[in-house]
Amino acid sequence: MAARRGRLSDVTAPLAVIKLMSLSPSEFAATAAQLGPSHAAAEGGRFLIPTGGGHVEIAYTAQPPVQLGRLLHLPRGEVTVTFTNVGEDDRARFLKLFDRTFQRGGG
């Protein structure tokens, strides 16, 4: 296999993806639990899911809610997806699964 020039190795230091999402801590926990095997570890708003040769850690940090008009308040959270020892292809597959799993109805 030829080396890729100008690119980092597929598996390097942890890589994080941060998303600002409109969901409550309980919605996050219920949805994140669907991403991994039943033995995926959940602790204090964090999930550790084995993926490829490494693992993915998904963490939720509550943010101030968004208020739209006088009646609508939307919860918000910062969700950090951190890949450790996960190759590029496995990261792409997992992020696609993550986006589909957290997708909601609407536009």
pLDDT digit string (tens) for 39-59? Answer: 666 677 789 998 888 999 999
| pLDDT value for 51 | 87
With 0.85 as the threshold, say if the pTM is over it. no
pLDDT band at 8 (very low <50, low <70, confident <90, very high): very low
| pLDDT value for 3 | 37
| pLDDT value for 39 | 60
Grouping H, G, I as helix, E, B as strand and the rest as coil, residue 27 is helix
| pLDDT value for 36 | 80
Which two structure tokens, joined as six digits, stand for 47?
Answer: 């999930």
Q: Kindly compute the dihedral angle of the four CA atoms of residues 71, 25, 55, 10, in this order, to the nearest 10 degrees.
A: 20
Grouping H, G, I as helix, E, B as strand and the rest as coil, residue 1 is coil
